[in-house]
Amino acid sequence: MPTPTKSASDIICTIRESGHRVTNGKRAVAEVLISSTSHLSVDEVVQAVRAIEPEINQSTIYRILEEFEELGLVVHSHLGASAAVYHLAGQNHAHLVCDNCGLTQEIPATTFDVMEVQLREKFGFNLDRHHVALSGLCATCRENQEK
Amino acid sequence: MPTPTKSASDIICTIRESGHRVTNGKRAVAEVLISSTSHLSVDEVVQAVRAIEPEINQSTIYRILEEFEELGLVVHSHLGASAAVYHLAGQNHAHLVCDNCGLTQEIPATTFDVMEVQLREKFGFNLDRHHVALSGLCATCRENQEK
DNA sequence: CTAAGTGCAAATAATTTGCAACATG
DNA sequence: CATGTTGCAAATTATTTGCACTTAG
C-alpha cells in the first residue's frame, strides 16, 4: 500500500498537532518540498524558500528541516556528495548513485521488499527503505570504463 | 571467489607500478589499514599513523587516502556520521547502520548477490558491493521504539 | 503572556588548497 | 635532478549554537 502524497495542509496539521508552532518559514519550506520532484540540498531549499519568504535565514531552514525530520515529514540522505539532500517522507523510492559521474537514479522502494525481509530475519535489522542509497557505476560510466 | 587479503607489500607494489612514489607516510597508512579490522575515520588513521610516523600531517593523510582510493586500494563510506570512514577494498562486506544509536554491523556482501543482478538487469546499474551502507533501526532500538 | 521560533554572528567540524621546502626514483 | 610529496597555514564548505529579540497560540 503506497503512502498517499502529502499536501501542505497535512504538513501544517502535523506540526500543530505535535505542539509546535506554525510559522511563515515552515509553511514556505512545506510548499517547497511538496512542489519539488527531486532532492534538495539545504542550500537549494534556502533559495526556493526565499522566493516565497525573502527574509528567512539559513539556520532557520536547518532548524525547520530538523523539526520536520523529527516529525517524520521529511528524510535526508547523503548521496555521496558533501551536502545532505532532503525530500518528503513517504515517497517510496531509493537511490542509485554513480560513483563516477554522480548521476542519481530513483528506483521504487519495492525493489527492496525481499532484502528488507532478509535483513530483518538474518540480522534483526529494520531497513528504512526511504533512506536507501547505493553506490556503484551507472550504465554509461561502466561502458566507458570497459573501453 | 573471495578477494585475497592484501599485504602491505602488495599495496606498496601497486603504488610503485602506478608511477607514484613510495614514502614513509604511505607505508604507515598501508600498515594501519591492514592491521585494522574495522573502519577508520581520517582522524583515527591520523592517530594510528602517528604511532609509526609521528611527524605526519593530517592533510598528507587525506592526500594519501585519496591516492589509495584512486588506485582501488581502499574505499570509503559515509556511515551516517559526519566523518567518512575508510577501509581496505576487497573485504567483502556491507554495512547496516542504525539511525538511532549509530551501531554499525558488518554483513557479508554476498547478501547483495541477488540484488546486484536485479539492479543491473532492471536499471543498468553496477552495484559496488564494497560500498553498501543501509540505514534503518537495529533490533534493540526497534524494540525500544515499539515500547 | 510565555514558550517556541528566528536572525545574526560566531563557533565547529571536515576537508581542500596554495605554495615553498623536501625527498624519491 | 625533475617531479611527486609533504608541512603548514589559510581557505572552503556544511552545519551548529548562543543569545537577544520576535511572534504564535
**pLDDT value at residue B3:** 43
Quick one: average pLDDT of A60-81? 88
Note the residue count of chain B.
147
Q: Grid coordinates representing A38?
A: 527531486
Contact A13, A6 (CB under 8 A): no
- Select from B125, B131, B140 the residue whose CB has the most chain A CBs within 10 Å, as the one to mutate to test that interface: B125
> Is the CB of A54 within 7 Å of strand C?
no
Least confident of A13-27, A106-120, B15-29: A106-120
CATH topology of domain A93-146: Dna Ligase; domain 1 (3.30.1490)
Residue B137 pLDDT > 80? yes
Which residue has the closest alpha carbon to D6 C1'? B60
Contact A105 B125 (CB under 8 A): yes
Q: Grid coordinates representing A126?
A: 529494520
pLDDT one-digit tens code per residue, A30-70: 999 999 877 899 999 999 999 999 999 999 999 999 999 99
Q: Is the model more confident about A143 or about B11?
A: B11
**pLDDT value at residue B1:** 40
Quick one: average pLDDT of B48-71? 95
User: Per CATH, the architecture of B8-88 is what?
Assistant: Orthogonal Bundle (1.10)
Contact A55, A61 (CB under 8 A): no
Q: Grid coordinates representing B35?
A: 592491521
> Is the CB of A78 within 7 Å of strand C?
no
Residue A145 pLDDT > 70? no
* Residues from chain B contacting residue A132 (CB–CB below 8 Å): 134-135
Least CB-CB distance to A131: which of B122, B131, B135?
B135
| CB-CB neighbours of B7 under 10 Å | 12
Q: Is the model more confident about A100 or about B7?
A: B7
Residues of CATH 3.30.1490.190 domain(s) within chain B?
A: 93-146
Contact A132 B134 (CB under 8 A): yes
Contact status of A137 with chain B (Cβ, < 8 Å): yes
Q: Report, in ranges, which bases of strand D sit under 7 Å from a protein C-beta.
A: 4-10, 13-18, 23-25
**SS3 assignment, position B98:** strand
**pLDDT value at residue B10:** 92
pLDDT one-digit tens code per residue, B69-128: 999 899 888 776 678 889 888 766 788 888 777 777 888 888 888 889 989 988 999 988
How distant is C1' of D21 from CA of A45, in Å? 25
Contact B40, B48 (CB under 8 A): yes
Residue in the block written with cell 586500494? B73
What is the distance between the alpha carbons of residues A94 and B113, in angstroms, rounded to a whole number?
Answer: 18
The model's pTM: 0.75
Residues of CATH 1.10.10.10 domain(s) within chain A?
A: 8-88
Q: Chain A residue closest to B105 (CA)?
A: A123
What is the distance between the alpha carbons of residues B112 and B139, in angstroms, rounded to a whole number?
Answer: 20
Quick one: average pLDDT of A83-107? 79
Residue B2 pLDDT > 70? no
Contact B142 A128 (CB under 8 A): no
